[in-house]
Copies of this chain bind each other. A is one copy, B any other.
């Protein structure tokens, strides 16, 4: 069983994938003993074929070893394991450790970037970093200040170093990069600072810029073909973005690209989503604000867009569309299809044909979602593919300086950056979710470069008339759009899930528990209180014939910003401080790796 396909990586590799993808990345992902990419595989499935730890014995799991990163605040992402080396990253200042798994985790090398700490002030949602990437014998570190460094994986020596953005105008980085073929694909953060989102491809060999595709603006700068790039099967047409904004607003219009990236080597397409339009005051930016809040499929070589799908036109709630795209080959309506599944901040779980961008399923993955009655699925309708907005929860219709109350989900979304996992054994998706609602009061704001460009006051609280908690961990059927089971959690589940061939699904909680549940039933099989709240993603690897489970602790992220940044005023942290105030009864700041094993 151990050599079962990992996503679709192995199969491809064996069918002569050398012309596709990046050979070294594919080769390393192909070894199930390793965790060679933050997302588990190019498909973002976060599934491991390792099965030593299984639903029967996981109850006996114990801590094998631990490692303090030496840094506090939110620890997102996970370590990588390549060969006998584990690579551990930290939030700002984005240190990287190479640990020798053959020598008790001895530190082989440490890389400590010297960054101007002023960048912290322009990071919206904690000093998080979703982890390093590996390609061609290099560790790719994308720092908070947008410095992208390629390090020799064996020695930690710098190979090349470039700058991908400018923190002086609010451009920062929190995302991992995606190495594809001879390129590395890079996003940008700063939607709360009016940054103009884009994706850039640099040469893996020397960091030279190869193509750049903005989320907004003129067609040429977006790398779209008005005739060939489609939206729900139709060409997007000329100036699709420009015509959806007032005047020059697209220049400070957000649509940043701080989430996860997927890649389909056969189609040679990369997939990712764009973030919220800036500002959060919708009245200030009439139009659909294209292409914010959009799933994008682009050619990996040229960056040219194949298709877009805008989930939340003219966002009124900060429902960034950047969550991961999980690529699977499944049967739907009796047909084998290449699917893309995406759990959006807006509370809708989307299933699309990833070749064509056809919308197949769009269903709420939390029954609390109330801002929309649902997505129009009629291809012949004027509003095909658009969510129907409930007037009561429309912050635009209620207007500036009016507090729209009881909106579900909150701006954090039904899910934020915390990635879901897919098990090909159960054909289910395992989704860490938020069960949080909000009041949202937009106000007029002026743009100043490098200053917050937010324009709304928020407060957050657990979904009313529910279980009282702020999260659920759910199993989802993407072909029918159904919740299979749902585990209530006191706080949002801000940690990424891991599914394994052992029929176990792992996730972490904001209080700090690592939990293992039965992949079929959701029954809790194991839990352990790690040092600090978990917002990292659970990973697994095998070393010297033994399977391990690893996870970073270190409370923070947007949900934990109160603890992370020492804020106590409920409306601070863009409204999250009040909502998660009770977290301080359970955990304190940290920064630790905990590795588990069977005895």
Among B66, B71, B512, point to the contact of A594 (Cβ < 8 A).
Answer: B66
**A72-B70, A592-B592, A594-B66 given as contacts; is B531 within 8 A of A586 (CB)?**
no
In the complex, A371 Cα to B63 Cα: how many Å?
45
Q: Is A228 an interface position by the 8 A CB rule?
A: no
Task: Encode contact with B along A39-77: 1 for CB under 8 Å, 0 otherwise.
Answer: 000000000000000000000101101111111100000
A65–B528 CB distance below 8 A: yes
Which residues of A, 411-450, contact B by the 8 Å Cβ criterion?
none
B529–A68 CB distance below 8 A: no
Q: Is A106 an interface position by the 8 A CB rule?
A: yes
Q: Which residues of B contact A588 (CB under 8 A)?
A: 67-70, 97, 107, 110
Which residues of A, 222-271, contact B by the 8 Å Cβ criterion?
none
Among B68, B71, B72, B593, point to the contact of A587 (Cβ < 8 A).
Answer: B68
Which residues of A, 570-584, contact B by the 8 Å Cβ criterion?
584
B104–A67 CB distance below 8 A: no
Q: Which residues of B contact A592 (CB under 8 A)?
A: 66, 68, 531, 590, 592
Please tell me how many copies of the chain the complex holds.
Answer: 2
Q: Nearest CB to that of A513 among chain B residues? A: B104
Which residues of A, 528-550, contact B by the 8 Å Cβ criterion?
528-532
Q: Is A589 an interface position by the 8 A CB rule?
A: yes
Q: Which residues of B contact A107 (CB under 8 A)?
A: 584-588
Q: Which residues of B contact A599 (CB under 8 A)?
A: 60, 62, 599
A69, A531, A553, A589 — most chain B CB neighbours (10 Å): A531
Q: Which residues of B contact A553 (CB under 8 A)?
A: 68
Which residues of A, 70-111, contact B by the 8 Å Cβ criterion?
70-72, 97, 104-107, 110
Q: Which residues of B contact A110 (CB under 8 A)?
A: 584, 588
Interchain residue pairs with CB less than 8 A apart (25): A62-B599, A63-B63, A63-B66, A66-B512, A66-B529, A66-B530, A66-B531, A66-B594, A67-B588, A68-B512, A68-B532, A68-B554, A68-B587, A68-B591, A68-B592, A70-B72, A70-B588, A70-B589, A71-B589, A105-B529, A106-B585, A107-B585, A107-B587, A110-B584, A531-B593
